[in-house]
Amino acid sequence: MVRLTGTNWFGFNASERVFHGLWSGNVTEITKSMADRGINIVRVPISTQLLLEWKAGTFGTVNVNTYANPELAGKNSLQIFDFWLELCKQYGIKVMLDVHSAEADNSGHVYPVWYKGSITPELFYQGWEWVTNRYKANDTIVAMDIKNEPHGTPNDTQRAKWDNSTDVDNWKYTAETAAKRILAINPNVLVLVEGQEVYPREGETWSSPNTDPDRSPNYYYNWWGGNLRGVKDHPINLGANQDQLVYSPHDYGPLVFNQPWFDKPFDKTTLTNDVWRPNWFYIHENGTAPLLIGEWGGRLGQDARQDKWMTALRDLIAEHRLHQTFWVLNPNSGDTGGLLLDDWKTWDEQKYALLKPALWQHGGKFVSLDHQTPLGGAGSTTGISLGQRYGDGGGEGDTTAPSVPGQPTASNVTSSGVRLTWAASTDNVGVTSYDVLRGATVVATVSGTTYDVTGLTANTAYTFSVRARDAAGNVSAASAGRSVTTAAGGGGGDQGCSAAYKTVTSWSGGFQAEVTVKNTGTSASTGWSVNWTYPSGTTVGSVWNGVTATPAVTVRNVAHNGALAAGASTTFGLIGSGAASTPADITCTSS
């Protein structure tokens, strides 16, 4: 397993048609400093207009201070880019190209789609084909981000949608077409597909009116490029080259835009459940395809909510070993600032300290994506090569299996499915995936520690376990099994519920707890039961708003709180004796 962890450096997308900062900073020093600090990939925004100009051999004057950059004297923008690619090769950095806008315009990313004026959809494809062919033998360029932040709403003159049509504004169709044309030239490059801004809610279509989202929403909203809900209904299909696909959402904090979820108390858990999972994190959890968060970042120390959001997303990236490119290196990014300060030389140490745990590291060294060149170049004291990381064999020689994963917990039990979640394994090299077993049969292999099982039979008992794999193919023993009985079927909709346990207060020898039961199905429930197991020595003394049974704790609804509409919740409380602890195996079943 490798991790692409880096940053963005813009300028080639803008009217200057060259990296910003070369008016004062030195290109070699900037590039070397990125490598020394663990940036193993740089996402480079460009424009379709620039690609077509390069293809035609048309070059304008570039804004480069040749006193600060004598190595760039006399070079046009394409020659400067090629020179920089050689620097990246020297220092062990890989490169991702990103068509940031149709036109070479500093605000071009504001335009919602990939075609504009004389830049037609076909010219958009041709620009990608030209640059792919030019660099198909250069393994420094490893990824192509097909289009930055498609967006727009149904009220807009131009908007990006996601469905199975061949309409000109269908971003999914465009992304598939561009990716296939790129991969026909270079089948080894990664292709990144971002999301868009809105997606129709259940029961709505792209023809539904775009009513006030705060009153009668017909669409789910998210950041530009950050809405990948459409993947669940209409996944990208690249045929034989499906393994080259990476989905790439963007996510930002309240200093970029004050989204509704920042107006109420939030933390990593609520952001995951309310924003990240439904929009894109489910793709990682379900093992659909890799994720690379192409843009995230911002200013620190100006808004406590901003700092809280950025830390939470950094922690999610580090915990789940996600790929990412931080926005941005440039200090002249107005709403985010950069990793560099205004002199284009000094690093913002506070911001870098936040980013550092999200960079790929092993044994105290940053890991390059190049098999031979360490990150930082020959003689680097801060980086190693991919070959050094894996012993020049991608894991060959490793015979140590990962540790046994945690016993799965079950939630969102319905008549046809269940969500399984388990504690991660550890490994001397690195865990790459988990097998999910139903009985003795593998039903899925996923990269994350959560999986939604579907296609089950109502009112049927199943046992699930998981096992871990590493890069060398070693497999752990299976975890302890989790027995789950699906809900009874029938009726006009699916049934399911979740249970959230919270210790309210505790004292020597006892505690008070409450459990919130939520109907997560699509139809009303008539009853529910919640199950968990306390450690030895902990027992339930009394329960209100529920009926209990032991030794394993089962709490059932009472007459007044069994009927829950879809999305509705109820709470029961209890007094217990012994040590207060949150059970790891709490499950809920509705009827």
The range of the structural domain enclosing residue 122 comes to: 5-367
Domain of 519: which CATH number? 2.60.40.290
- Over the stretch 15-48, which tens digit does the pLDDT of each residue have? 999 999 999 999 999 999 999 999 999 999 999 9
DSSP H or E stretch at residue 285: helix 282-285
Whether residue 490 has pLDDT greater than 70: no
Residue 380: inside a domain? no
Residue 279: inside a domain? yes
Q: Which of 485, 514, 534 is the last residue of a domain?
A: 485
Residue 277: exposure state from Cβ atoms within 10 A (0-12, 13-18, ≥19): middle
Average of per-residue pLDDT values in the chain: 92
pLDDT reported for residue 551: 53
Any residues with CB less than 8 A from the CB of 203 and at least 6 apart, and which? none
* DSSP of 536-580: TT-EEEEEESSEEETTTEEEE--TTTS-B-TT-EEEEEEEEES--
Q: Judge if 446 and 547 occupy the same domain.
A: no
Identify which of 96, 90, 186, 178 has the alpha carbon closest to the alpha carbon of residue 141: 96
Whether residue 54 has pLDDT greater than 90: yes
Q: Which of 333, 348, 367 is the last residue of a domain?
A: 367
Any residues with CB less than 8 A from the CB of 192 and at least 6 apart, and which? 96, 98, 143, 144, 145, 146, 246, 247, 248, 292, 294
pLDDT reported for residue 505: 86
For range 288-317, the mean pLDDT: 97
Cite the active site residues: 149, 295
Whether residue 394 has pLDDT greater than 60: no
Residue 152: inside a domain? yes
Residue 24: inside a domain? yes
Strands 496-507 and 482-485: unpaired
Residue scoring higher pLDDT (495 or 246): 246
Q: Judge if 224 and 316 occupy the same domain.
A: yes
Q: Judge if 360 and 468 occupy the same domain.
A: no
Handedness of CA 312, 314, 317, 320 (dihedral sign): negative
CA trace torsion 172, 176, 177, 182 (10° rounding): 140
Q: Do 50 and 104 form a contact (C-beta atoms < 8 A)?
A: yes
Whether residue 396 has pLDDT greater than 50: no
Whether residue 93 has pLDDT greater than 50: yes
- Distance between CA atoms of 164 and 145, rounded to whole angstroms? 21
Domain of 468: which CATH number? 2.60.40.10
Residue scoring higher pLDDT (486 or 324): 324
- Over the stretch 190-236, which tens digit does the pLDDT of each residue have? 999 999 999 999 999 999 988 765 555 899 999 999 999 999 999 99
- The pair of three-digit structure tokens given for residue 494, joined into one six-digit string: 């699916």
User: Nearest 5°: phi and psi at 17?
Assistant: 60, 30
Identify which of 330, 350, 364 has the alpha carbon closest to the alpha carbon of residue 42: 330
Residue 379: inside a domain? no
Q: Judge if 569 and 500 occupy the same domain.
A: yes
For range 51-76, the mean pLDDT: 97
Strand order in the sheet with 5-8: 245-247, 190-193, 141-145, 94-101, 41-47, 5-8, 323-326, 292-293
Residue scoring higher pLDDT (546 or 490): 546
Q: Judge if 252 and 353 occupy the same domain.
A: yes
Whether residue 550 has pLDDT greater than 80: no
- Over the stretch 168-179, which tens digit does the pLDDT of each residue have? 999 999 999 999
Residue 373: inside a domain? no
Q: Judge if 427 and 564 occupy the same domain.
A: no
- Distance between CA atoms of 128 and 131, rounded to whole angstroms? 5
Q: Judge if 519 and 477 occupy the same domain.
A: no
One-letter amino acid at 349 equals: E
Instruction: Quickly state the pLDDT bin for 264 (edges 50, 70, 90).
Output: very high
pLDDT reported for residue 216: 53
Cis amide linkage into residue 95, ω under 30° from 0: no
Instruction: Quickly state the pLDDT bin for 587 (edges 50, 70, 90).
Output: confident
Q: Judge if 256 and 158 occupy the same domain.
A: yes
Helix (H, G, I), strand (E, B) or coil at 231: helix
pLDDT reported for residue 395: 41
Whether residue 527 has pLDDT greater than 50: yes
How many domains does the structure of the chain reveal? 3
Q: Judge if 353 and 430 occupy the same domain.
A: no
Whether residue 346 has pLDDT greater than 60: yes
Q: Do 208 and 200 form a contact (C-beta atoms < 8 A)?
A: yes
Whether residue 541 has pLDDT greater than 90: no
Q: Which of 438, 454, 485 is the last residue of a domain?
A: 485
Q: Judge if 514 and 445 occupy the same domain.
A: no
Q: Judge if 309 and 419 occupy the same domain.
A: no
DSSP H or E stretch at residue 293: strand 292-293
Residue 396: inside a domain? no
Residue 544: inside a domain? yes
Q: Judge if 361 and 425 occupy the same domain.
A: no
Q: Give the rounded percent of residues in the chain with a pLDDT score beyond 90.
A: 71
Domain of 273: which CATH number? 3.20.20.80
Strands 383-384 and 365-367: parallel
Whether residue 103 has pLDDT greater than 80: yes
